[in-house]
Structure 1
Amino acid sequence: MENMHILFWLLKDIGWCMIWKPLGLSMIIPTLSIAVLITWRTRDIKAELAHNLAIVFWITANSYWMISEFFGFDTVHVWGSITGKHMALLPFLSGLAILLYYYLVQKPQELRAAQVATL
């Protein structure tokens, strides 16, 4: 499943790079669906959950950015100097926030709990 996920992701990005809208757009749903499924299946492992959630947000941001370029609203000003493309920062930053929480809060707690358990 993970290998198929990479294939779909590459096809989506090739479609974006080559401005092949049908290929790029048609690969969003399978790429995102498999990422969500992988995330669901690994939800019991906190490290995997954090990283896979970050990937879901990354694919979401990446797909939105591609759509904004395909449909020409990437340079449209939404608010002040923020353009349609900049709106992709919301899911990018969400994924980053999840990883920061994991590495700054969750993982240190896990390491402390493991040290206490070995005493």
Structure 2
Amino acid sequence: MENTHILFWLLKDIAWCMVWRPLGLAMVVPTLGIAIVIAWRTRAYASELAHNLAIVFWITANSYWMTSEFFGFDTVHVTPTITGKHLALVPFLLGLGILLYYYLVTKPRENRAATATL
């Protein structure tokens, strides 16, 4: 499943690069769908879940950014300093936040618990 996921992701990004809208938009569904399934399947392992959720948010941000360019709202100003493309920062930052929480809170807690049982 992970290998198929990479294939869809590459097809999406190649379509974005080549401005092939139908293919790029079509590849969002399987790319994001498989990423969500992978995250769900790894939910019992905090490390894997955190990284896979970060990937889900990365693909979400990446897909939004691609869509904003395809439909021309990437340069539209939402505020005087924020354009449509900048809104992709929301899912990018959510993914980063999940990883920061894992590395700053969850992993140290796991390490302390492992040390306490020795």
Give 1:59's aligned residue.
59
Structure 1 length-normalised TM: 0.98
Give the alignment of 1:1-119 within 5 angstroms. 1-118=1-118
Unaligned runs of 5+ in 2: none
| Deviation string, structure 1 residues 36-63 (Cα, Å, up to 9, x no partner) | 0000000000000000000000000000
Letter in structure 2 aligned against 1:16: W
CA distance in 2 between partners of 1:80 and 1:89 (Å)? 16
Unaligned runs of 5+ in 1: none
Larger strand proportion, structure 1 or 2? 1
CA RMSD of aligned residues (A): 0.4
> How many corresponding residue pairs?
118
After TM superposition, where is structure 1 displaced by more than 6 Å over at least 4 residues in a row? none
CA distance in 1 between partners of 2:99 and 2:61 (Å)? 16
CA distance in 2 between partners of 1:46 and 1:80 (Å)? 40
Give the drift of 1:22: 1.0
CA distance in 2 between partners of 1:28 and 1:49 (Å)? 21
Letter in structure 2 aligned against 1:8: F
CA distance in 2 between partners of 1:62 and 1:89 (Å)? 10
